[in-house]
Each structure stands twice: as C-alpha cells, then as structure tokens.
Structure 1
C-alpha cells in the first residue's frame, strides 16, 4: 500500500513539474517570437523611413533647382507637387517610426532628419542648398546610427 501511494504521489509530482516546465518553455518561446517580430518590424520601418527621407531630399533638391532655373514653368510646378508627395510619404514613414521606436532620443533624431530635409527648398543660393542637403544627409545618418542597435 505504501509503495502504491508513493508511486501515485511521484506520478502526480512528475506531472506537475512537467506542466510547469512546459509552461515556462512555451512562455519563453512566445517571448522570443515577439522579440523577433518587433525586430523585423523595426528593420522594415526604419528602412522605409530612411528611403522616404532620401527620396524627399532628392525631390527637394530637384524642386530648388527647377525653381531657380525655370521659375514659374510647368516643370517647376510639377517638381513642387512631387516634393509635396514625397513629404507626405516621408511624414507617414516618420509616424511609423514614432509608433514603433522605444527610445525618445532616436525618435527625436528621426524628426530632425525629416525637418532638416523639409527646409532644403528655402535655401537662398546653391551653396546654402548644398549645405542644407549635407545637413539632411548627416541627420539621417545619425538616426540610422542610433536606431541600428535596436535591430541587431
């Protein structure tokens, strides 16, 4: 009788221990899956933002040149409207960064990259436009450098 009771208790303890360890393993697996999914989301979001800002900077440069070389022309107007579309795409990508990024400093760098690109078309001469373009490029590089550790 004692042997049977010990066997039953041993079986119950084994079942409880197995259940507990399996639950912990399941939680760990789910946590790792969530972490990897967030990492992949960040990679996609940060890459899309960088691409949108590069396209926006290019359209701002084009807008500036066309406004200076052909003021009031149809090409200058088309370039201005194209820069608006690129600004919208870059702003949408910025919103995604703001939603997924946990680091306030990194979010501020993304906002700075957007803003420095946004002001390029206001340059008074080619030297200032070049300077603003380089500042926008540097601001984007700074964002990428700050965001990279969160996706490694």
Structure 2
C-alpha cells in the first residue's frame, strides 16, 4: 500500500512539475513571438518613415527650385502643394514611429529629421538651401543609426 501511495505521489509531483515548466515555456515562447513581431513592425515603420522623409526632402528641394526659377507660376504652386502632400505623409510616418518606439532618443531624432526637412523651403540662396538639405539628410542618418541597434 505504501508503495502505491509513493507511486501516486511521485506521479502527481511529476505532473505538477511538468505543468509548471510547460507554463513557463509557453510564456517565454509568447514573449519571444511578441518581441519578434514588434521588431518586424519597427523595421517596417522606421523604413517607411525614412522613405517618407526622403520623399519630403526631395519635394522641398523641388519646391524651392521652382519658387526661385518662376515665383508664382503654376509649376511653383503645384510643387508647393506636392510638398504639402509629402509633409502629410512624412508626419503620418512620424506618428507611427512615435507609437511603436519606446526609446525617447530615437523618437527625438525622428522628430528632428522631420523638422530639419520641414524648414528646407525657407532657405535664402542656393548655399543655404544646400546646407539645409545636407542637414536634413544628416538628421535622418542620425535617426537611422540610433534606431538600427534596437532592431537586431
């Protein structure tokens, strides 16, 4: 009889231990899956933001050149409106970065990249425009460099 009780107790102890270890493994697996999904979402979001800022910078350059070449022309007005559309796309991408990024420095660098690009059309002269364009490009590079380690 004692042997049977010991066997039952041993079996119950084994079942409890197995259940506990399987529960921990399930939680660990779920956490790893969540982390990987978040990493993939961040890669997509950061890439989309970088692309939107590049397009916005391009439209800001185009806007500036058209305004200098033919102020008030239809092409200058269309270029201005195109830059507004690109600004909206870049701002939406910035909002997505702010939603998925948990690093305050990376969010700050994303905002700086957007802001540097936003100010480009205010350039006075070709040298100022080129400087502002380079600063916007550099701000985006700083964002990418800061965001990249968190994606590995």
TM-score (norm: length of structure 2): 0.99
For 2:89, the equivalent position in structure 1 comes to 89
Q: Which runs of 5+ in 1 are unaligned?
A: none
Per-residue CA shift, 1:50-109, capped at 9, x if unaligned? 000000000000000000001111111100000000000000000011111111111111
Q: Separation in 1 of the partners of 2:127 and 2:139?
A: 18
Q: Separation in 2 of the partners of 1:46 and 1:124?
A: 31
For 1:59, the equivalent position in structure 2 comes to 59
- Superposed CA RMSD in Å reads 0.5
- The 5 A counterparts of 1:99-114 are 99-114=99-114
For 1:7, the equivalent position in structure 2 comes to 7
Q: Separation in 2 of the partners of 1:96 and 1:130?
A: 29
Q: Separation in 2 of the partners of 1:65 and 1:132?
A: 13
Q: Does 1:33 align with 2:33?
A: yes
Q: Which runs of 5+ in 2 are unaligned?
A: none
Q: Separation in 2 of the partners of 1:53 and 1:109?
A: 12
For 1:17, the equivalent position in structure 2 comes to 17
For 2:48, the equivalent position in structure 1 comes to 48
Q: Separation in 1 of the partners of 2:120 and 2:8?
A: 78
Q: Separation in 2 of the partners of 1:30 and 1:107?
A: 27
Range with bigger deviation, 111-120 or 96-105 = 96-105
Matched length = 152
TM-score (norm: length of structure 1): 0.99
After the TM superposition, which segments of 4 or more aligned residues of structure 1 sit over 6 Å from their partners?
none
- The 5 A counterparts of 1:69-148 are 69-148=69-148
Q: Separation in 2 of the partners of 1:51 and 1:41?
A: 15
Q: Separation in 1 of the partners of 2:53 and 2:136?
A: 9
